[in-house]
Amino acid sequence: MGNGPSMNLLTDEEIHLLKEERTFSGSRWFMWPKSWTTDFYILTERKQATEWKERGFNKATAKEAKFWVTWQPAPAGWVPVPRPPSNAHDVLNYGTRGLKGNCKVGQDGSPHLHHGKDTPLAMAQVAAYMGFSEMYLIGCETEGAGRSYEDAPRAMHIGGVMDAYYERAGKELPLVDCTPGGRLSRVGALKYKPLAEVLGNG
């Protein structure tokens, strides 16, 4: 689950059905007025790490696990996930499976995500590592379309920068876009499937 404005299009029925699914959230998910405690929470940015430090690391909620995908040491209660060591180890060069053993770095052979610059991509890689066979993105417009918890439009990515990363992820992971009108399916980076169809009520 991203934080794009399409989150506000979810019906009460869809929200109820989503609560029965295994869900990932991240970033400023806690600011969405309709939010609930998802199964997993993923943090990927230094700015967010500072924000959670100010709020109190123990206030970040998840039913099962909170993943710390950043450079700083993980605080108590968070699962540390190594980021790519440099931009040279990004998804276009090494793929998207991350943590699967096909891209080892360091003399200790430690695995890492192939791309940790975007929260939904980090979610997908961690989900793949955990063995999930189907993954669906919602609220992931990936363009300057505003955020679900703000009224004013705000750019989240420069248009097109992330398209190639998601396109490869869609080929290597069971990743499908359910964001209505989102950029990823609109430009052909990912296949689109209506959320109602995924949830079995459409």
What's the pLDDT tens digit per position in 85-130?
666 666 777 777 777 655 555 545 567 787 777 889 999 999 988 9
Contacts of 197 (CB under 8 A, 6+ apart): none
Give the total number of structural domains in the chain. Answer: 1
What's the CA gap between 179 and 85, in Å, rounded? 31
Across residues 178-195, what is the average pLDDT?
A: 93
- Is the alpha carbon torsion for 62, 76, 80, 184 positive or negative? positive
DSSP letter assigned to residue 103: S
CA distances from 106 to 38, 82, 88, 92, 172 (A): 33, 12, 14, 20, 24
Which pLDDT does position 117 carry in this prediction?
A: 73
Q: Residue 102's pLDDT is what?
A: 54
* Structural domain span for residue 145: 5-198
Concatenated DSSP letters of 150-184: -SS---SS-TTTTHHHHHHHHHHS-EEE--TT-HH
